[in-house]
Structure 1
Amino acid sequence: MAVNTLQYSQQFQTVLDQQMLVGSTSGFMEVNAGQVKYDGGDTVHIPEISMQGMAKYDRDEGFNRGSVTLKFNPYKMTQDRGRTFSLDSMDVNETNFVATAGTVMGEFQRTQVIPEIDSYRYSKIAALATAENKVTTGYTPTVADILDKLDAEITDIQDVIGEDEALIICMSTKLRSILNNADKFHKYLNVAQFTAGAINTKVRSFNDIPILGVPSSRLKTQYVFNDGKTSGQEAGGFKADTAAKEINWIIMPQRAPIAVSKTDKVRVFTPDINQKADAWKIDYRKYHDLWIPKNRLAAIHVNVGA
């Protein structure tokens, strides 16, 4: 063989990781993973710094001693997902295997993996915000009040954290037409360049805060992630829970959500090695999760529909 199966696996993993970062609407959250310590396994460690405030300076005694604590809190990764695929050897030979399998796996990640990961992340942010009473519920946006509502929620956040923190708005694309026709549209909305790691794209902005459009199917408060075995869940994938509500938008600091996403294993077995069939076998595994450190939850607000 000109290229061994390990090289195949490395090729796929590199391409799929890049596709995941750029194709996902929540890909910017992975840039924040540089804040964590992760050495493999199911646990990441996120730093938390606490310190005492200022004290009076004494001209005789000098400084009052203060303390600073840096600790790495452990967070468990919970989303361990995967699938195995077979490509019959009669349908694909070694010379075009990379092209054919690359197309199949790229399409799988684009249509199945990326939407699922986006949906999980936004629903988890909504759950964390709900636990901290950082949610507005029952709001139906209109052209008359959408900008005022956005401005009020942004002001509430900036009143807590100041105006220097870079915020981001993740908004349902269903609201685009409402924004287009909103009162004072041209006064507050413009186009800006949004850059985060490998992501570099033009987006709308509201008072210089970028707005990332997210398909409404990925902005629900709750989902069911099928296990692939239970009756009714054999097809795998995910779906909105019957109790789910639509999320209009999420406003948060860009650095707040920390997402770790690993294409943990892409394994390739040739037809000669595959014992079950005369076919190429591809194992795909995605290990991921999202967290927001507690000291950043005060700067997050989720707006949920009726």
Structure 2
Amino acid sequence: MPNAINYAQRYQTQLDQVIKQTTLTNDLETQGVNWMGAKTFHVPHLSVSGYKQHTRNGGYNRGTVDVTHEPYTLSFDRDVEFFVDQMDVDESNQAASAANVTRIFLTENAGPEIDAYRFSKLAQKAQELEQAKDENVTDGTPKDVFDRLKSDIRKVRKFGTANLKAYVSTDVMDAIEKYKEGKGTFSLQNQDTTIETRVTTIDGVTLIEVFDVDRFHTAYDFTDGYIPANDAQELNWIIVYKGAIVAKAKLNSVYLFQPGQHTEGDGYLYQNRMYHDLFVLEHQAKGLVVSNKAPSSGSGGEEQ
């Protein structure tokens, strides 16, 4: 059997670019992480004791040095394959071509799911640490929204505003835009991506609009693709210190077998596997603040 064409290796730039254009959390990617050879990595934490009162009888007070290692284990391993009969490609005027299958899958499934997984994992960690709050922030005035967001930014400003990212819902971004209209100190721009989204800054912190609400919830069912879990809440915002997380793929493989290169039928076989995860570092977890949209009152709530 002839060798398969590994698009992930041969066309790495094109495929990575598609992922970057559709994944809003790309800026959270951790550089310099090498998963090879293991599925668990350990992050060392060094703590030392402080000063004690000096005496003038000679000698120094002996301090302590403690090194601990927190383990983090990869667990999110995803894959899919598609078979397209070569006559389906021909009779659809190439609509079902390998290039189109790749592009549509990455833009409509892979990229958004990466965001959904990362946002939900951050939201769940914030809830666990009691750093998440349920609130209907957009029920108030635009100034109320702006003040609440600034209040949460202040909680993590010690990590340096240039190191923070804030992901906000469309309703929140709309309120901020209305509040700042005419003040002359605020501008909105569209990112140069295939998914256009508004980006701005507050107090030096970059705000990125997540207009695709389907990927901005607290929990998901990943049985078949990704859908918000039954008990999921929409998110108002996530503010995160980039140094508080490790987010990286260990494996991203994409294969295309042409007719005759496999034994599954007379057509094209497309395979994609993504093995990745996101972790909030235990000793940096204070660099995460989340605001959840409070559940609707009443039996069923209103559709958004």
TM-score (normalised: structure 1): 0.79
Q: Secondary structure at the match of 2:137?
A: coil
Q: CA deviation at 1:6?
A: 4.0
Residue 257, structure 1, aligned to residue 245, structure 2: yes
Whichever residue aligns with residue 276 of structure 1, its letter is: E
Q: 2:80 aligns with which of 73, 80, 83?
A: 83
Whichever residue aligns with residue 205 of structure 1, its letter is: T
The 5 A counterparts of 1:88-167 are: 88-90=85-87, 100-141=97-138, 142-158=141-157, 161=158, 163=160, 166-167=163-164
Q: Secondary structure at the match of 1:144?
A: helix
Q: CA deviation at 1:17?
A: 3.1
Distance 1:87 1:192, change over 3 A: closer
Q: CA deviation at 1:40?
A: 4.2
In structure 2, the partner of 1:245 is 233
Gaps of 5+ in 1: 195-200, 227-235
Q: CA deviation at 1:46?
A: 3.2
The 5 A counterparts of 1:34-53 are: 34=32, 36-53=33-50
Would you say the 8 A contact 2:245–2:280 is kept in 1?
A: yes
The 5 A counterparts of 1:1-306 are: 5-6=4-5, 8-30=7-29, 32-34=30-32, 36-55=33-52, 60-61=58-59, 64-67=62-65, 69=67, 71=69, 73-90=70-87, 100-141=97-138, 142-158=141-157, 161=158, 163=160, 166-182=163-179, 186=183, 189-190=186-187, 203-214=199-210, 215-226=212-223, 236-306=224-294
Q: CA deviation at 1:242?
A: 1.8
- Decide which moves more: 124-133 or 273-282: 273-282
**CA RMSD of the aligned region, Å?**
3.4
Once the two structures are superposed, residues 237-296 of structure 1 have per-residue CA deviations (whole angstroms, 9 ceiling, x without a partner) of 111112111110011212222212244322332321311201121211011111001111
Hey, what's the Cα distance between the residues in 2 that align with 1:92 and 1:187?
A: 53
Once the two structures are superposed, residues 124-145 of structure 1 have per-residue CA deviations (whole angstroms, 9 ceiling, x without a partner) of 1010000110012123323130
Hey, what's the Cα distance between the residues in 1 that align with 2:34 and 2:53?
A: 37
Q: CA deviation at 1:56?
A: 5.3
Would you say the 8 A contact 1:190–1:206 is kept in 2?
A: no
Q: Report percent identity of matched pairs.
A: 28
Hey, what's the Cα distance between the residues in 2 that align with 1:188 and 1:132?
A: 35
Whichever residue aligns with residue 292 of structure 1, its letter is: V
- Decide which moves more: 137-146 or 45-54: 45-54
In structure 2, the partner of 1:233 is none
Would you say the 8 A contact 1:169–1:209 is kept in 2?
A: yes
Whichever residue aligns with residue 277 of structure 1, its letter is: G
Q: CA deviation at 1:203?
A: 2.8
Hey, what's the Cα distance between the residues in 2 that align with 1:253 and 1:166?
A: 6
Whichever residue aligns with residue 173 of structure 2, its letter is: R
Gaps of 5+ in 2: 192-196, 295-304
**In the comparison of the two structures, how many residue pairs are matched?**
283
Whichever residue aligns with residue 14 of structure 2, its letter is: V
Hey, what's the Cα distance between the residues in 2 that align with 1:169 and 1:4?
A: 45
Hey, what's the Cα distance between the residues in 1 that align with 2:128 and 2:21?
A: 30
Q: Secondary structure at the match of 2:35?
A: coil
Hey, what's the Cα distance between the residues in 2 that align with 1:168 and 1:243?
A: 26
Hey, what's the Cα distance between the residues in 1 that align with 2:160 and 2:54?
A: 30
Whichever residue aligns with residue 71 of structure 2, its letter is: P
Would you say the 8 A contact 1:220–1:240 is kept in 2?
A: yes
Q: CA deviation at 1:187?
A: 6.6
Hey, what's the Cα distance between the residues in 2 that align with 1:207 and 1:65?
A: 39
Q: CA deviation at 1:12?
A: 4.6
In structure 1, the partner of 2:298 is none
Whichever residue aligns with residue 206 of structure 1, its letter is: I
